[in-house]
Amino acid sequence: MIRLAVPSKGRLMEQTFEWFAARGLRLSRSGSEREYAGRVEGADGVQLVLLSAGEIPRELAAGRIDLGVTGTDLVREKLAGWASDLAEVAPMGFGHADLILAVPDCWRDCETLDDFASIARDFRAAHGFRLRIATKYHRLVRAWLAGHEVADYQLVDSQGATEGTVANLTAEAIADITSSGATLRANNLKILGDEPILRSQATLVASRAAMGPEMTALLAQLGLRA
């Protein structure tokens, strides 16, 4: 039996159902909107579970599920050394989002990461505490800033409505995902740098421990190779 986990709500869930349907597998919830078990038609030996996209990487690494759909951002954020336990089998072509660093529009002298690094250096002397960056992507943001030699900052945990933290005066900058850019614009924030911290999209991810004939057969049915 292959245990397949897909996001339990929203557009990510709907587009996942469409992606599998286009490849001959009909996924559906087995009961009410609130029930997190599912049905699979079109393949034998596949059990469907609906999970929070954020929990899918860890559940794969723990071996409680074999195959899952989640964002590449979440795989990299939730699991250090993810590639030893998981294999990204296929990008799915939806759920595109960029993880970016953003500062207030009104920071006119801050356009590049070098500008940001020097503002961060001066900030502590001027304010007595390190410049605060609100994010839920702690691992990715720390690694990226270290790679760009930005050191004078602190991360403030924000699990939602992150763009609001600057106006609320709980952070000076944010690192979050953006897709249309509407949330950044509405909160008077601008993206720093030419390249995002990470480009993410929904991806089919397998546990390496679950690779075997059953998995190979299912992936072949989806037109994929292990």
Please report, as ranges, the residues that interact with ligand ATP according to CB under 6 A.
7, 10, 12, 52-54, 71, 73-74, 95-97, 177, 179, 200
- Residue 130's CB is within 10 A of a number of other CB atoms, namely 16
Do residues 56 and 50 make contact, with C-beta atoms less than 8 angstroms apart? no
Pick the closer one to ligand PRP by CB: 81 or 160: 160
Nearer to ligand PRP, 25 or 99 (CB): 99
Position 198 contacts ligand PRP (CB under 6 A): no
Residue 163 near which of ligand PRP, ligand ATP, none (CB within 5-8 Å, type-dependent):
ligand PRP
Strand partners, 91: 203
Q: Which is nearer to ligand PRP, 25 or 134 (CB)?
A: 134
161: contact with ligand PRP by CB under 6 A = yes
| Residues 113-142 within binding reach of ligand PRP (CB under 6 A) | none
Q: How far is CA 28 from CA 7, 14, 120, in A?
A: 12, 10, 49
Asked if 177 touches ligand PRP (CB under 6 A), the answer is yes
Determine which residue in the list 154, 179, 188, 216 makes contact with ligand PRP, applying CB under 6 A.
179
Which does residue 181 touch among ligand ATP, ligand PRP, none (CB within 5 to 8 A, set by kind)? ligand PRP
Provide the terminal-to-terminal Cα distance of the chain, rounded to the nearest Å: 17
Rounded to whole angstroms, the Cα distance separating 187 from 27 reads 38
182 binds, among ligand PRP, ligand ATP, none (CB under 5 to 8 A by kind): ligand PRP
Q: Among ligand ATP, ligand PRP, none, what binds residue 10 when CB lies within 5 to 8 Å by partner kind?
A: ligand ATP
Q: Are 5 and 68 in contact (CB under 8 A)?
A: yes
Stretch that binds ligand PRP, among 39-47, 113-121, 144-152, 159-167 (CB under 6 A): 159-167
Q: Measure the CA–CA gap between 207 and 210, rounded to whole angstroms.
A: 5
Q: Which ranges of the chain does DSSP label H, i.e. alpha helix?
A: 10-21, 56-61, 72-78, 82-85, 113-127, 138-147, 182-186, 213-221
Min dist. Cβ of residue 176 to ligand PRP (A): 5
CA atoms within 13 A on the CB side of 193: 17
Q: Which positions touch ligand PRP (CB under 6 A)?
A: 160-163, 176-183
